[in-house]
Amino acid sequence: MNPLLPEHAQQNLILASESPRRIELLKMLGFEFRVEPARINEADETIARDPFMLPQELARMKAEDVGSRFPDALVVGADTVVILDGRALTKPRDDHEAAEFLKALSGAVHTVVTGLAIKKAASAVLFSGKEETRVRFRELTKEEIDSYVASGEGRDKAGSYAVQGLGACLVRSIEGCHYNVVGMPIALLFELMNRAAGTGG
The tens digit of pLDDT for each residue in 121-175 reads 877 789 999 999 999 999 999 999 999 999 999 998 999 999 999 999 999 999 9
pTM reported for the whole predicted model: 0.91
To the query of whether residue 44 is one of the catalytic residues in this protein, the response is no
CATH of residue 87:
3.90.950.10
Which of the listed ranges 44-48, 54-58, 99-103, 155-159 does the model predict with the highest average pLDDT?
Answer: 99-103
- For all residues of the chain together, what is the average pLDDT? 92
Pairing type for strands 109-119 and 126-137 reads: antiparallel
Alpha-carbon torsion, ordered 162, 164, 170, 175, to 10 deg: 100
8-49, pLDDT tens digit by residue?
888 899 999 999 999 999 999 999 999 999 998 776 555 667
User: Residue 2 falls within a domain, yes or no?
Assistant: no
Tally of domains in the chain: 1
Note the pLDDT of residue 200. 47
Range of the domain at 113: 7-197
| Residues across the chain | 201
Rounded Cα distance, 1 and 17, in Å: 20
What is the reported pLDDT for 114?
96
186 and 25 in contact (C-beta within 8 Å)? yes
> 123: which residues sit within 8 A by CB, 6+ positions away?
199, 201
Q: Does residue 49 form part of some domain?
A: yes
Please pick, among 79, 85, 94, 146, the residue that the annotation labels catalytic: 79
Within a domain: residue 1? Answer: no
Residues 6+ away with beta carbon under 8 Å from 136: 108, 109, 171, 172, 173, 174, 175
Cα–Cα nearest to 74, from 11, 125, 156: 11
pLDDT band for position 201 (cuts 50, 70, 90): very low
